[in-house]
Structure 1
Amino acid sequence: MTDIFIESGRSLVDGEFTETSLRTSGRDIGALDAEQGRATLHVNASGLLVLPGIVDLHGDAFERQMMPRPGVGFPIDVALVDSDRQAIANGITTVFHGTTWSWEPGLRRADNARKLLDTIEAMRPQLAADTRFHLRHETHNLEAEVEITQWLTEGRIDLFAFNDHSNVKPTKRGQLADRAGLSAEAFNQLLDKVVARRPDVPASIARLAAAARAANIRMLSHDDNSPTMRREFRALGAVIAEFPVNEETARDAVAAGDFIVFGAPNVVRGGSHTGWTRASDMIAKGLCSVLASDYYYPAQLLAAFRLAADGILPLARAWDLISAAPARAAGLEDRGVLATGRRADIIIIDDKVPLRPRVVAVIAAGRLVHLTDASRLVHSPAPRKTVATA
């Protein structure tokens, strides 16, 4: 690892953009408003933005690398490497892979969740982004409770979410049957069995939440549809609300100081693909604290610039939604801002073309892992050692 000197960029420091230089020291930021010092790698950031790396709490776009078409699977290690390249190229330096362990067969079956966790743990040192495991537990998947409790106790889960997709609309059943590799009739029969378990679900949720609290693992609830539902999960320790489906629920979350996550694709596209809450409206009302990539890795970067261009938030505040705030929500106090002693996760952006920011360079934990403009890079000779003479 070599120290890196980033010169003359418009850096986001303490909520404002200021032209300054900074230097890394190992895995961390060594100094702001710095001189080159011992750095042997020099990046000319003149005219560019220098920003803290993006933190993605909820992304499942990697599933498309695992199964690009229904029933067409590829090895998990290949999928993770490709997903890592995509995340880094879009400025994501910390990525939580949202892995659903469902009652469904197919892509979201038990074996895939187990293999994905094992593969992430084995491959972490090889991946450029800090890659973490966000388990999305389908609450009606009661058979998984014992094993998930063990994972929580062992600290193998980085974020733990409660999901319930048992209320499947008739219009979506064909799509889910294809993903599960079942006929429509077989999927409907399976769904009937799953729904019949509903009386046993609350007790299972309570036991799993207790295990997560004991292991100090952050919890999320998904698609909260009422203030009552949000309060129930908050009482269990789940203080991150993912995609609340209405404003009333989001207001209850804000009043209690919960983190609220919406999908960045919703901002970029101008609305939800499901027809639910419009994220940019929620942001304008102060009812969103985190934007996640959801199903599309470029979305966080694009959303921040979209919010600024639309006058909803200045870019510095929009950036907080994809960097500092998700880091706080996940309990990662070492990243999300440019400050001395923080982890050196840094991205350099060319913002000349409106709404089309271009990632020029990415530094992850002090390593230059992505560069699209070699003319910006200068290799400097290492400082000479002084030899004492008698």
Structure 2
Amino acid sequence: MIITNVQLVLEDEVVNGSLEVENGIIRAMSDSSSYQPGAVDGNQGWLMPGLIEQHTDNLEKYFTPRPKVSWPAFSAMAAHDAQLIGAGITTVLDAIAVGDVRDGGHRQDNLDKMINTIVQSGERGLNRAEHFVHIRCELPHETTVDLAKLYLDLDQTHMVSLMDHSPGQRQFVNLTKYYEYYQGKYNLNDEEMAAFEQDQREKSAIWSDLNRRAIASLCHERNIPLASHDDATRAHVEESRALGLVLAEFPTTVEAAQRSHELGLKVMMGAPNVVRGGSHSGNVAAHELASLGVLDALSSDYFPGSLLDAVFRLADDERNALDLASATCLATRNPASALSFSDRGIIKEGMRADLLLVERHYEQPYVQQVWRQGHRVF
């Protein structure tokens, strides 16, 4: 296959040209157009590496599209997969929470079903994107370590994150935001919310530190990359570094992001934060970290289409030094590096032909075609 008349988004520049794919691998590139019969005409769109998503809980929305509604597993997986590939995401780590048993228990009920469906749909060749598992460990719970152990030896488990959503901690240092979020999420009145807060504080005091150390040790034994989540202080970051973590998911302050970057943890922020212009939790804005040069990666988090959108918005933003090539690396090369994927993430001879063709209309990027390992999947 030859794709021609495109703007190739390379690791450090964008060039006009064409690209040749053979057996799922990028075999050659040229800074001129091809006139071979059958070549795909990109109409001067951008040809980009397939996006790599490290942390999305989007699958849960399909398994439980409404409260107390359980959707058939492979139907849910197919719809989730189609949404991701339509957003240009060719490699995804589906984030599955262990230790979080609220939402009427649906996360607990769905845990095995979701992970088994990710594994089986991949083994049967049913998915358009390539799916792996990201185990999100809610630390303040007595079941978290035992549940995590059930999934750490899966070949598909490529990442583990350590999180504590307790009041006064990390994402919810601001208790007003904590109350707004959880009363809205669980429809709790003030009395119920006060009891919930007290329960979460007690569980955090008992379990968080014990579980953090235990899970980190288990992951190091298996060479599974570890991520922090919502670090807010230098102390949080230094604890993360001491435990051998490699990725800082969604730091909530400039201080935490800068210290993470200094210590070699890749700083990942939510693409929705970029698109919306700030954090929905009242924490640091991603564009501020980009302007400081300490933003290393992006995640679509809860909205798959935000990832590509955020890349272009950051490239347009005069408050930072990112051009389109370097902004693209936040969703391709840098995540691949954090996850030790050496075969994808950049357009280069010898790399996998995971590619997307993008056009832009009225400032909005639109995915036109997607290929995974040279096969068109969108």
TM-score (normalizing by structure 2):
0.89
Match of 1:99 in 2: 96
Match of 1:172 in 2: 181
Counterpart-to-counterpart distance in 1, 2:358 and 2:247: 30
- 1:219/1:130 Cα in 2 relative to 1: closer, same or farther (>3 Å)? same
Counterpart-to-counterpart distance in 1, 2:111 and 2:254: 33
Q: Which moved more, 1:186-195 or 1:54-63?
A: 186-195
User: Retained in 1: the 8 A contact 2:68–2:106?
Assistant: no
- 1:282/1:36 Cα in 2 relative to 1: closer, same or farther (>3 Å)? closer
Code of the residue aligned with 2:263 in structure 1: it is A
Counterpart-to-counterpart distance in 2, 1:310 and 1:187: 40
Deviation string 1:314-337 (CA, Å, 9 cap, x unpaired) is: 111111111111111111111110
Q: 1:227 aligns with which of 222, 234, 248?
A: 234
Helix, strand or coil: the match of 1:134? Answer: strand
1:47-86 matched pairs, under 5 angstroms? 47-86=44-83
- 1:14/1:247 Cα in 2 relative to 1: closer, same or farther (>3 Å)? closer
Code of the residue aligned with 2:86 in structure 1: it is A
Give how far 1:298 is off: 0.9
Match of 2:119 in 1: 121
**After TM superposition, what 4+ stretches of structure 1 lie above 6 angstroms from structure 2?**
34-37, 182-187
Match of 2:175 in 1: none
User: Retained in 2: the 8 A contact 1:103–1:138?
Assistant: yes
Helix, strand or coil: the match of 2:304? Answer: coil
- 1:166/1:60 Cα in 2 relative to 1: closer, same or farther (>3 Å)? same
- 1:67/1:109 Cα in 2 relative to 1: closer, same or farther (>3 Å)? closer
Counterpart-to-counterpart distance in 1, 2:337 and 2:76: 28
Match of 1:210 in 2: 217
Is 1:362 the counterpart of 2:370 in the alignment? yes
1:239-278 matched pairs, under 5 angstroms? 239-278=246-285
Identity across aligned pairs (percent)? 30
Counterpart-to-counterpart distance in 2, 1:366 and 1:294: 27
Give how far 1:54 is off: 0.6
User: Retained in 1: the 8 A contact 2:87–2:367?
Assistant: yes
Match of 2:107 in 1: 109
Q: 1:339 aligns with which of 328, 333, 348?
A: 348
Q: 1:319 aligns with which of 303, 321, 328?
A: 328
User: Retained in 2: the 8 A contact 1:59–1:97?
Assistant: yes
Is 1:161 the counterpart of 2:161 in the alignment? yes
Code of the residue aligned with 1:132 in structure 2: it is F
Is 1:90 the counterpart of 2:84 in the alignment? no
Counterpart-to-counterpart distance in 2, 1:102 and 1:176: 17
- 1:356/1:173 Cα in 2 relative to 1: closer, same or farther (>3 Å)? closer
- 1:160/1:274 Cα in 2 relative to 1: closer, same or farther (>3 Å)? same
Q: Which moved more, 1:256-265 or 1:353-362?
A: 353-362
User: Retained in 1: the 8 A contact 2:139–2:207?
Assistant: no
Counterpart-to-counterpart distance in 2, 1:257 and 1:299: 26
Give how far 1:61 is off: 2.3
User: Retained in 2: the 8 A contact 1:23–1:35?
Assistant: no
Match of 2:202 in 1: 196
Deviation string 1:106-157 (CA, Å, 9 cap, x unpaired) is: 3653231221111100001210001111111100122131231242244442
Give how far 1:46 is off: 3.4
User: Retained in 1: the 8 A contact 2:273–2:280?
Assistant: yes
Give how far 1:282 is off: 0.7
Q: Which moved more, 1:217-226 or 1:163-172?
A: 163-172
Deviation string 1:20-72 (CA, Å, 9 cap, x unpaired) is: 211112222122229999x9963111311111111111112232222233333
Unaligned runs of 5+ residues in structure 2 are 173-177
Helix, strand or coil: the match of 1:58? Answer: strand
Give how far 1:176 is off: 3.4
Q: Which moved more, 1:90-99 or 1:57-66?
A: 57-66
- 1:345/1:249 Cα in 2 relative to 1: closer, same or farther (>3 Å)? same
Give how far 1:287 is off: 1.5
Helix, strand or coil: the match of 2:145? Answer: helix
Helix, strand or coil: the match of 1:151? Answer: coil
- 1:160/1:151 Cα in 2 relative to 1: closer, same or farther (>3 Å)? same
Question: Cα RMSD (Å) of the superposition?
Answer: 2.4
User: Retained in 2: the 8 A contact 1:264–1:300?
Assistant: yes
Helix, strand or coil: the match of 2:282? Answer: coil
Q: Which moved more, 1:214-223 or 1:158-167?
A: 158-167
Counterpart-to-counterpart distance in 1, 2:98 and 2:148: 10
Give how far 1:190 is off: 5.8
Match of 1:5 in 2: 2
Give how far 1:175 is off: 2.8
- 1:265/1:103 Cα in 2 relative to 1: closer, same or farther (>3 Å)? closer
Helix, strand or coil: the match of 1:133? Answer: strand
Code of the residue aligned with 1:66 in structure 2: it is F
Match of 1:383 in 2: none
User: Retained in 2: the 8 A contact 1:309–1:355?
Assistant: no
TM-score (normalizing by structure 1):
0.86
Match of 1:44 in 2: 41
Give how far 1:73 is off: 3.0
Counterpart-to-counterpart distance in 1, 2:37 and 2:61: 39
Unaligned runs of 5+ residues in structure 1 are 371-390
Give how far 1:260 is off: 0.4
Q: Which moved more, 1:188-197 or 1:240-249?
A: 188-197
